Chain A
Amino acid sequence: MIQLFGVSKRYGTFRDALADISFRVEPGEFVFLTGPSGAGKSTLLRLLFMEETPTAGQIIVNGRNIGVLPQGQIPYLRRTMGVVFQDFKLIARKTIFENIAFVQNVLGLARVEQKRRAYQVLKRVGLHHLMNAYPDELSGGEQQRVAIARAIVNEPTLLLADEPTGNLDPVLAEEIMRLFVEINIRGTTVVVATHDLEMIRRTGKRTLILERGRLHDPDRVRESAPLVREAPFLPLH
């Protein structure tokens, strides 16, 4: 699903946000990306959803080398991905339904199909009864669930989340993480960037650790994996 070969990203002349990153994420896998603030987690995600281009190296997503992808093809590859942010990025003047429907609008879906999909996806995150509410009327956890619903409404094969629980209390964070696990169980590859180690430990998924733009020795990650896997799985409901 995702392959990175010696990927580097440099801002300006001296600052390496990422240096020589290589890893592989299999289809259907759930991977955490962790590390302290400024480690390069968000930069890595931005490279994956093609908001940035790498300074060096190759990135393959869904079998396509995104470094050589023509600009005109990027939207079509993005349609196979969903992205969730820490600050939800919902549009305040649109209702929950409109927040989800407007992204389908641009894909040319019929109105009836938009409604059907929006309803289904909101039901999946348990918010179908709030379709006509505005984001401000929702709690942080509910807003993040809407953002997740929006990210998966086009049934992406890859879901990228950048600190999706960063603004939430532990209970809500767990709720959100449960949703990601559910989505992953249905077959979507999930990559979550977080610095919440407790969450990672409890979820027990594969973890990539970034520090100062470099990926920790994969062997070290592997060594720590049994410990991580011992952690109890989150209940799904």
Chain B
Amino acid sequence: MPRPRYVFGEAWSIARTSPRQTAAAITLIALALYVPGLLALVSHNLSRLAAEETEDPASVVLTLDPQTDARAIATRLQADHRIQLVRIVSSDAALARFRRAYPDLGAALSDLKEAPFPPSIEVVLKPGAARTVSREIAAGARVWPGIESAESEEEFSRRFRDAIHLVRDAGLFLGAVLTLAAVLSVASAVRLALDLHREEVGIMRLMGATESAIRAPFWLYATSEGLVGGGLALGLLYATYRFAAHWLSRDPHPVLAVLWVGFLALPTQLLLPAAGAAAGLIGSLLSLGRRETRRATRLA
């Protein structure tokens, strides 16, 4: 096995001999991971909203016009024998609930002149009620006066989950495409570095250096590139988050604020540099095939 000091020294030497390519590869990796990171951050915050549980999960939610008599609607609903509980959620109660879910946004919403959330009524069905009941109740309530919208929570949850999945999938897709580009960029940076060091590598091989001793510095170089690129992406993402949070605290927006309420959890944060390192390693493995390396570094 090659000595760590030798591997680190040579990897550093490789980075120094092709600084432009190194910088380009790091930038590309950073961008490749920043975009899916951003979408992961958005979907993370949306998921928090989806995961927010109330005492009894509502099956139907009726959004009311502010002038509507909520009690009259609630009484009408209670007449339905399939309903167990009807809960009136005023604008203030909705805001209070939002603040409980997103304590970080408390300051952002405190300066609002108008209540950001309309009053609503949540309907809890009796246990064992058929799945179609919530949709029937929502469909019936939609035509009542004073009802802005009536959504079966099942439908709403599905749409909401779909939206989160869409964001997540878009992140994964973009991430995959951009990471592939980053991998190829690392591969070409490594290939160029190999070309710049071809004599050295050829001499090392003739002097009896093993393949792992020859390649280890290139592997380390590419993995470090990826690690730095991933770290840079994380830094950029955090800077974006801080900027958005700061901007929203000055100019609050109830919907946008939801997307920037919290930063990624630590394991997800660590995923970015790890993914970068993996992309770097894969790129170097692609460009340092046994046959290709031998051909590229043939001396005589």
Which residues in window 77-94 of A have CB below 8 A to B? 77-79, 81, 83, 85, 89, 91, 93
- Tell me if B208 and A79 are in contact (CB < 8 A): yes
- A62 in contact (CB, < 8 A): no
Q: Are B205 and A85 in contact (CB under 8 A)?
A: no
- Chain A residue nearest to B202 in the complex (CB): A89
Report B's interface with A, CB cutoff 8 A: 1-3, 6, 9, 17, 199-200, 202-211, 213-214, 290, 298-300
Q: Judging by beta carbons under 8 Å apart, are B206 and A78 in contact?
A: yes
Task: Out of A71, A93, A106, A162, name the residue touching B204 (CB < 8 Å).
Answer: A106
Interface residues of A in 49-92 (CB under 8 A from B): 49, 51, 71-72, 75-79, 81, 83, 85, 89, 91
Partner of B2, one of A49, A77, A85, A106: A106
Within 8 A of B (CB), among A38-53: 42, 45-46, 49, 51
Which A residues touch B298, using CB under 8 A? 51
Q: Is A233 an interface residue (CB 8 A)?
A: no
Known contacts A75-B210, A91-B203: A85-B3 contact under CB 8 Å:
no
Residue A154, interface by CB 8 Å: yes
The size of the chain A interface, using a CB distance under 8 A, is 27
Name A77's closest neighbour in chain B (CB-CB): B208
Q: In the complex, what residues of B have CB within 8 A of residue A93's CB?
A: 17
Chain B residues whose CB sits within 8 angstroms of the CB of A77 once the complex forms: 208
Interface centre among B1, B2, B9, B203 (most CB of A within 10 A): B203
Instruction: Decide yes or no: A106 and B199 within 8 Å by CB, A42-B300, A45-B300, A85-B299 being known contacts.
Output: no
Contacts A79-B208, A108-B2 known; A103 to B203 CB distance under 8 Å?
Answer: yes
Instruction: Please indicate the chain B residues that have their CB under 8 angstroms from the CB of A83 in the complex.
Output: 206, 300
Q: A75-B205, A85-B299, A106-B210 are in contact. List 16 more A-B contacts (CB 8 A).
A: A51-B299, A76-B208, A78-B207, A79-B207, A83-B206, A83-B300, A85-B300, A89-B299, A91-B200, A91-B203, A103-B204, A103-B207, A105-B3, A106-B209, A107-B208, A107-B209
Write the nearest CB–CB distance from A45 to chain B, whole angstroms. 7
A23 at the interface (CB under 8 A from B): no
Q: Which residues of A contact B205 (CB under 8 A)?
A: 75, 78
Tell yes or no: A102 within 8 A of B by CB. Answer: yes
Instruction: State how many angstroms separate the Cβ of B211 from the closest Cβ of chain A.
Output: 8
Residue of A nearest to B213 (CB): A106
In the complex, A176→B200 CA distance in Å? 23
Residues on A with C-beta less than 8 A from B1 are: 108
Tell me whether B200 and A102 are in contact (CB under 8 A): yes
CB proximity of B19 to chain A, nearest CB, Å: 14
CB distance from B210 to the nearest CB of A (A): 5
Asked whether B209 lies within 8 Å of A51 as measured between CB atoms, the reply is no
Write the nearest CB–CB distance from A51 to chain B, whole angstroms.
Answer: 6
Residue of A nearest to B16 (CB): A93
What is the bound-complex CA distance between A77 and B207, given in angstroms?
9
Contacts of B203 in A (CB 8 A): 89, 91, 103, 150
**Given that A89-B199, A91-B199, A91-B200 are known contacts, is A78 also in contact with B208, CB under 8 Å in the complex?**
yes
CA distance A159 to B211 in the complex (A): 22
> Which residues from B are CB-within-8-Å of A78?
205-208
- Alpha-carbon separation in the docked complex, A46 to B211 (Å): 19
Which residue of chain A is the closest to B217 with respect to CB atoms?
A106
Instruction: Pick the residue among B199, B200, B207, B299 that contacts A154 (CB under 8 A).
Output: B207
Whether the Cβ atoms of A46 and B199 lie closer than 8 Å is no
Whether the Cβ atoms of B300 and A46 lie closer than 8 Å is yes
Give A1 to B214 CA distance when docked, in angstroms.
Answer: 28
Report how far A52 CA is from B182 CA in the complex, Å. Answer: 35
Which residues of B have CB within 8 Å of A89? 199, 202-203, 299
- Chain A residues contacting B210 (CB-CB under 8 Å) are 72, 75, 106
Closest to B6 in A: A105
Chain A nearest Cβ from B293, distance in angstroms: 12
Chain B residue numbers with a CB within 8 Å of A51 are 206, 298-300
- What 6 A-B pairs come out closest when comparing CB atoms? A79-B208, A106-B209, A103-B207, A78-B208, A106-B213, A75-B208
Closest to B3 in A: A108
Which chain B residue lies CB-closest to A45? Answer: B300
> Please, how many angstroms separate the alpha-carbon atoms of A61 and B1 in the complex?
25
- Residues on the A chain within 8 Å of B213, using CB: 106
What separation, in Å, do the CA atoms of A60 and B238 have in the docked complex?
63
Other-chain residue from A85, A91, A154 in contact with B208 (beta carbon distance below 8 A): A154
Complex Cα spacing A93 to B9, Å = 15
Please give, as numbers and ranges, the residues of chain B lying within 8 Å of A154 by CB-CB distance: 207-208
A49 and B207 in contact, given A85-B300, A106-B213, A108-B2 (Cβ under 8 angstroms): no
